[in-house]
Structure 1
Amino acid sequence: MGITVNGQPAELTGTQTLSAYLTKKMDDLSGIIVEYNGQIIKQDQWATITLQEKDNLEVLRFVGGG
């Protein structure tokens, strides 16, 4: 199944929730903002979204600094 992540094609094997996908791809999920098909999704909703063919994700990490 093909999706787009940050403008790049990505392949999924089997059915995955947004939460499972991000946990598999990233070591630390703190400071992560996800746009799913044009809508910002709060972290407590990630487990309720099952990724589908042609979904579009934008994943951003905010870090502090000075």
Structure 2
Amino acid sequence: MIEIQLNGQIHKLETSLSIEQLLNKLLIDKKKVAVELNKSVVPKQKYSSIKITNEDVVEIVTFIGGG
């Protein structure tokens, strides 16, 4: 089991996941968010290849349109 910080809250995961797997697990559309891993923005094309590991800090930001 691994422990991560997700949007300021501690979450426990059974195993290490890719960013894409985490977004799928959370039912989040990857097209509508930006992800920061340990204070670095992750390009969308790397979501499937970058693994989240123990004690990582993940921030998921949703885009909101406005006028």
**Matched position secondary structure for 1:48:** coil
Alignment deviations for residues 10-53 of structure 1 (CA, whole Å, 9 cap, x no partner): 11112311110111102423220011001000111011111110
Q: How many residues align?
A: 66
**Stretches of structure 1 lacking an aligned partner (at least 5 in a row):** none
Percent identity between the two aligned chains:
27
Displaced runs of 4 or more, over 3 A: none
Question: Quick check: which one's strand share is greater?
Answer: 2
RMSD: 1.1
CA distance in 1, matches of 2:36, 2:6: 10
CA distance in 2, matches of 1:29, 1:50: 15
**Stretches of structure 2 lacking an aligned partner (at least 5 in a row):** none
Aligned pairs for 1:21-36 within 5 A:
21-36=22-37
Bigger Cα displacement from structure 2, 39-48 vs 25-34: 25-34
TM (normalized to structure 2)?
0.88
